[in-house]
């Protein structure tokens, strides 16, 4: 028993490196010769190491407990515990998924929107009446201010017109045709001819279905025109037909030429042609003529952000509109010449003749 205790003391000292050089050599000799002693050394070594680690962990835990005591766990867990609100929990758990879903939806919207933009003529036709006052806002919307130049022959009004369009003579005695949207809601309407003379006019008839309006010049200074040079073409006109128009996007008449690009108008509207012709605000109500000088339509609108997609109301509907008007309201039956005096004339001669019958419509609202 006693020897055992001493042996263990020596083993411990040996393992802890406390033996002197001589003692250590002697003990190692003993270890070699006696397997039992050797086994005891190994076992004790393993035990001491395990115990050392046990002690270390115990020490670490004690230190951590002290650190833990400094933390206000309750307040912290109040802050960090799952939020009672279901939605916030969902948000916390699925942040990534929600983000992905949101970007997907956004992408879809953008894609669908752009597809629609590309495949459909979406509701953005621009009526070609001039909104003079609006030009300040945007140059790209092609609206223009009429300079309030005083026309010496027409001292009746001093303020500039708010809106402008074009109209053309239906009869020699002062009936004009234009678009309804040009004169819609007007307080007063003046028309100005090619020479710069202004006449007061009134709206005598409107047709909202085809966006047409008939004006009558009521000014006493107006002297009747000579016979109309053009006639209304009753039959339809084919694609590719060269056409031209005269209008007032500015104070002087402007000539524009193009071709019929489709037999239907905006979104397949069969009452209109689609015409590839440069028009600007102010062209609304202008006559559309073919190369022989027949009126085949009335310029009414163009598609926004698309170049050369102008729409013109077919002449057939002009006639329908005229026919629906009781004779007595116009005083005298409106009848176009059967004969077209423009036929066979060169383009510039045609325009020269027509321009006396095309008026700038000035509208005050």
What DSSP designation does 193 have?
-
Report the interhelical angle of 2-15 vs 21-33 (nearest 10°).
120
Pick 52 or 236: Cβ nearer another protein:
52
Under rule CB under 8 A, which residues in 63-92 are in contact with another protein? 63-64, 66-68, 70-71, 73-74, 76-77, 79-82, 92
Question: What is the β-pairing status of strands 287-290 and 272-276?
Answer: unpaired
Q: Report the alpha-carbon distance of residue 57 to residue 54 in Å, rounded.
A: 5
Q: Report the alpha-carbon distance of residue 176 to residue 85 in Å, rounded.
A: 71
Pick 6 or 252: Cβ nearer another protein:
6
Under rule CB under 8 A, which residues in 267-326 are in contact with another protein? none
Output the smallest distance, CB 305 to another protein, in A.
45
Q: From 43-51, 147-155, 266-274, 335-343, give the range in contact with another protein by CB under 8 A.
A: 43-51
Pick 22 or 96: Cβ nearer another protein:
96
Pick 76 or 115: Cβ nearer another protein:
76
Contact criterion met (CB below 8 Å) for 53 and 61 = no
Output the smallest distance, CB 88 to another protein, in A.
11
Q: Report the alpha-carbon distance of residue 215 to residue 112 in Å, rounded.
A: 45
What DSSP designation does 170 have?
S
Contact criterion met (CB below 8 Å) for 131 and 162 = yes
Report the 10 Å Cβ neighbour count for 294: 22
**Any contact of residue 43 with another protein (CB under 8 A)?**
yes
Q: To the nearest 10°, the Cα dihedral for 226, 227, 230, 236?
A: 140
Binding-residue total with another protein (CB under 8 A): 35
Pick 2 or 136: Cβ nearer another protein:
2
Residues of this chain that interact with another protein (CB under 8 A) are: 1, 4-5, 8-9, 43-44, 47-48, 50-51, 53-55, 57-58, 60-61, 63-64, 66-68, 70-71, 73-74, 76-77, 79-82, 92-93
């Amino acid at each position: 028993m006693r020897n055992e205790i001493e042996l263990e003391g020596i083993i411990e000292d040996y393992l802890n490196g406390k033996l002197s050089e001589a003692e250590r050599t002697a003990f190692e000799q003993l270890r070699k010769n006696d397997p039992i002693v050797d086994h005891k050394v190994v076992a004790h070594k393993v035990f001491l190491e395990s115990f050392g680690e046990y002690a270390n962990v115990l020490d670490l835990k004690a230190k951590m407990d002290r650190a833990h005591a400094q933390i206000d766990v309750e307040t912290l867990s109040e802050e960090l515990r799952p939020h009672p609100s279901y939605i916030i929990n969902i948000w916390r758990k699925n942040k990534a998924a929600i983000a992905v879903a949101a970007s997907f939806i956004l992408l879809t919207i953008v894609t669908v929107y752009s597809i629609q933009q590309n495949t459909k003529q979406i509701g953005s036709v621009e009526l070609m009446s001039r909104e003079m006052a609006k030009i300040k806002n945007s140059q790209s919307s092609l609206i223009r201010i009429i300079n309030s130049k005083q026309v010496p022959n027409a001292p009746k009004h001093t303020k500039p017109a708010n809106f402008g369009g074009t109209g053309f003579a239906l009869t020699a005695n002062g009936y004009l045709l234009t678009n309804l949207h040009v004169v819609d809601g007007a307080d007063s309407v003046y028309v100005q001819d090619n020479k710069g003379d202004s006449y007061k006019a009134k709206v005598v008839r409107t047709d909202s279905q085809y966006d047409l309006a008939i004006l009558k010049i009521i000014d006493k200074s107006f002297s009747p025109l000579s016979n109309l040079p053009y006639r209304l073409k009753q039959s339809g006109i084919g694609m590719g037909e060269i056409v031209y128009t005269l209008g007032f996007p500015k104070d002087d008449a402007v000539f524009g030429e193009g071709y019929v690009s489709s037999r239907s108008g905006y979104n397949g509207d069969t009452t209109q042609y689609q015409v590839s012709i440069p028009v600007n605000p102010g062209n609304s109500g202008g006559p559309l003529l073919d190369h022989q000088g027949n009126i085949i339509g009335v310029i009414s609108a163009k598609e926004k952000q698309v170049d050369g997609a102008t729409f013109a109301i077919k002449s057939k509907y002009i006639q329908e509109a005229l026919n629906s008007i009781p004779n007595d309201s116009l005083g005298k039956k409106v009848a176009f010449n059967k004969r077209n005096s423009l036929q066979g004339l060169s383009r510039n001669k045609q325009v020269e003749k027509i321009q006396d019958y095309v008026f700038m419509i000035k509208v005050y609202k």
